[in-house]
């Protein structure tokens, strides 16, 4: 049995999600303990519990420890099953994080195509928002040979939730592997654009956010878009700065919060984007974390040049190595903390 200490490194939910996904793929019985030990409220929150039960369901696994605030889970997977999987978090917890947990088993190990319906939050602070999944993450999954389509049917914001994402996954054929990925530099012309998204909130919020982003990055009116969403369960707001070139699209997000001025939301987004743009690396810090599993599973050597290596990155490297035997080498690759991950 593989045993993973959830308190090491960043000590959060990513350790759990990566271990669950790789346990299902490998079929190895896995015990994860000290779950989210570094967090203010340790153990399984609602979205983590959904991920645990989802992986157990798709892998026909025996499961122990699946309860709210549980700090230990044991999974004994059998086989990964395709078909339709309905995953309802029941709160505004992140559907995108749950998606990233079940995606890899369903893509590389399932016995049939899968349709996954996820309900909960789609634009969550401290999680990849739908805009990032759609614009950054899934295009790279497809570049590596993954046959995945996804659509946002309804956005969900904290605290109301109520979002809905539908994903169709065609598994790799027997003996087929993901393609290796090389992202060493930004190719072609870099284009920047901004978007402010609102649900059940006044338009001036978006206008103020776009004013900040437009001035920060020299954007014209044609590069700034206001998006008004309909049919959401509650109010919400995000603003995004999109940095796109020929081989990569990075999405940076500011999340609106009650009592937080629109200008502060936009400046947070701008600061994150500015840190990335200050380097010449194509891969941002959040994307780096999320490419470690597919690169470790891919056929051949992958190379990712990243704007920085966070504690999430180094932690995920170790978790993935426990299951796959492939430990990414992290080496300096430029000024300002730029690193290269080699698989």
Catalytic residues: 312
Alpha-helix runs per DSSP H in the chain:
13-26, 46-58, 95-108, 130-132, 138-143, 203-217, 262-277, 285-290, 292-297, 311-324
C-alpha–C-alpha distance, residues 244 and 132, integer Å? 12
C-alpha–C-alpha distance, residues 162 and 124, integer Å? 12
Sign of the dihedral through C-alpha 171, 184, 278, 15: positive
In contact, 269 and 213? CB cutoff 8 Å:
yes
In contact, 103 and 75? CB cutoff 8 Å:
no
Distances in whole angstroms, Cα of residue 7 to Cα of each of 32, 36, 39, 53:
10, 6, 9, 21
C-alpha–C-alpha distance, residues 154 and 145, integer Å? 27
In contact, 251 and 135? CB cutoff 8 Å:
yes
How is the beta sheet containing 147-154 ordered, strand by strand?
A: 83-88, 114-120, 163-170, 147-154
C-alpha–C-alpha distance, residues 255 and 164, integer Å? 19
156-174 burial string, b = 16+ CB within 10 Å, else e? Answer: bbbebbbbbbebebbbbee
- Structure tokens belonging to residue 255: 């999340």
């Amino acid at each position: 049995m593989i045993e993973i200490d959830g308190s090491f490194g960043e000590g959060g939910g990513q350790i759990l999600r990566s271990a669950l996904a790789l346990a299902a793929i490998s079929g190895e019985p896995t015990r994860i303990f000290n779950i989210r030990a570094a967090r203010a409220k340790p153990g399984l929150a609602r979205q983590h519990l959904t991920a645990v039960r989802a992986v157990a369901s798709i892998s026909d696994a025996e499961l122990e420890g699946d309860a709210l605030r549980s700090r230990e889970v044991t999974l004994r997977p059998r086989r990964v099953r395709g078909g339709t999987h309905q995953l309802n978090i029941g709160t505004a917890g992140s559907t995108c994080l749950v998606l990233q947990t079940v995606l890899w088993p369903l893509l590389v190990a399932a016995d049939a195509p899968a349709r996954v319906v996820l309900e909960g939050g789609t634009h969550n602070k401290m999680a990849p928002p739908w805009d990032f999944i759609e614009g950054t993450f899934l295009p790279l999954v497809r570049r590596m040979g993954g046959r995945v389509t996804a659509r946002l049917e309804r956005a969900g914001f904290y605290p109301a939730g109520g979002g809905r994402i539908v994903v169709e996954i065609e598994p790799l054929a027997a003996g087929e592997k993901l393609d290796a990925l090389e992202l060493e530099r930004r190719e072609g012309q870099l284009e920047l654009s901004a978007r402010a998204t609102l649900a059940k909130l006044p338009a001036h919020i978006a206008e103020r956010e776009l004013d900040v982003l437009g001035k920060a990055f020299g954007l014209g009116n044609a590069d700034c878009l206001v998006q008004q969403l309909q049919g959401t369960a509650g109010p919400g707001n995000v603003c995004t700065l999109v940095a796109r070139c020929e081989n990569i699209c990075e999405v940076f997000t500011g999340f609106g919060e009650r009592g937080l001025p629109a200008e502060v939301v936009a400046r947070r987004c701008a600061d994150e984007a500015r840190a990335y743009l200050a380097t010449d690396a194509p891969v941002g810090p959040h994307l780096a974390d999320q490419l470690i599993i597919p690169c470790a599973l891919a056929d051949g050597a992958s190379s990712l040049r990243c704007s920085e290596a966070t504690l999430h990155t180094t932690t995920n490297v170790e978790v993935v190595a426990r299951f796959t035997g492939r430990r990414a080498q992290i080496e300096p690759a430029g000024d300002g903390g730029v690193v290269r991950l080699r698989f």
